Amino acid sequence: MAACKEQNNLPAAIDSKLTAYTWTVVERRNKAFIRRMCMHCESPTCASVCPVEAFRKQPNGPVLYDASRCMGCRYCIMACPFDVPKYQWDRAMPIVQKCTMCPDRIVAGSPTACATVCPTGATTYGERDHLIGEARARLASAPKSYIPRIYGMEEVGGTSVLILSGVPFSTLGLRTDLPLAPLPMLTWQGLSKIPDVVVVGGVFLYGIWWITSRRTKVQDELTRESAKSDWSAGTALRSDLNRR
């Protein structure tokens, strides 16, 4: 946590939960420690819902945020299945903040700051396929020490952060009800129906407009005919009175 703060020039004060100024936290749950941070999804939902492409998935793993493009809609905060992006509510010109996976260090060929300072190997860094192999090896070498599952391997299409645990993931506060399919696919399935909805809705609204307009025209015509009839009757009556 301290290394993350130093690497990203964040305020030294460490929060007990993820904030715009604390991008990773270590929580103690069920007699175990669990790190919370951005999972850097393979198909990030935050990027799929962002209307200005402020979030983008990088080929080397990180999901990065461009504050200069952000319009402040906060769709990313609502869409993230891991509740990660946080908003700077205390600033007049706020932006969204989260773990960046130390992209400068990655480009330079160095591990992330958090992995570099970890003294026990609880946090390691490497290529995703290599880490999956390492996780499987740990599971095979000590099957009684771990839950037989690699969290993040398949959840929401897979993530760049993988987690092993000796206790059920749900007791660590990790969601276990997530679909295996990437969430952007579900978003696209919904958005793909929009053209049909627009066409059908447009036809329906046009039909309502035509019926309403037709009724108005008919009513106006009846009003005019009634007015003509009343005028004609009045004229005839005046003419009769004049003859008398």
CATH of the domain at 76: 3.30.70.20
Mean predicted confidence (pLDDT) in 39-57: 95
Mean predicted confidence (pLDDT) in 79-108: 96
- Tens of pLDDT, residues 203-240: 666 667 656 766 676 666 666 766 666 555 555 555 55
- Residue 210's domain comprises 193-244
Statement to judge: residues 142 and 237 lie in one domain: no
Q: What is the dihedral of CA 21, 22, 23, 27, to 10 degrees?
A: -160
**What is the DSSP annotation of 75-86?**
HHHHH-TT---E
Statement to judge: residues 176 and 234 lie in one domain: no
Please determine, for residue 75, whether its predicted confidence score (pLDDT) is greater than 80. Answer: yes
**What is the DSSP annotation of 16-37?**
SS--SS---EEEEETTEEEEE-
N-to-C CA span, the chain: 109
Please determine, for residue 65, whether its predicted confidence score (pLDDT) is greater than 90. Answer: yes
From the centroid of its chain, how far is CA 212?
41
From the list 175, 159, 177, 169, the residue with the least C-alpha distance to 32 is: 169
Statement to judge: residues 213 and 93 lie in one domain: no
How many structural domains does the chain have? 2
Distance between CA 202 and CA 210 in Å, rounded?
A: 12
Distance between CA 182 and CA 63 in Å, rounded?
A: 15
pLDDT at residue 232, rounded to an integer: 57
Please determine, for residue 197, whether its predicted confidence score (pLDDT) is greater than 70. Answer: no
Statement to judge: residues 219 and 172 lie in one domain: no
Share the mean pLDDT of the chain. Answer: 86
In sequence order, the 6+-apart residues with CB closer than 8 A to the CB of 65 are 54, 55, 85, 95, 96, 97, 98, 100
Statement to judge: residues 110 and 229 lie in one domain: no
Statement to judge: residues 52 and 162 lie in one domain: yes
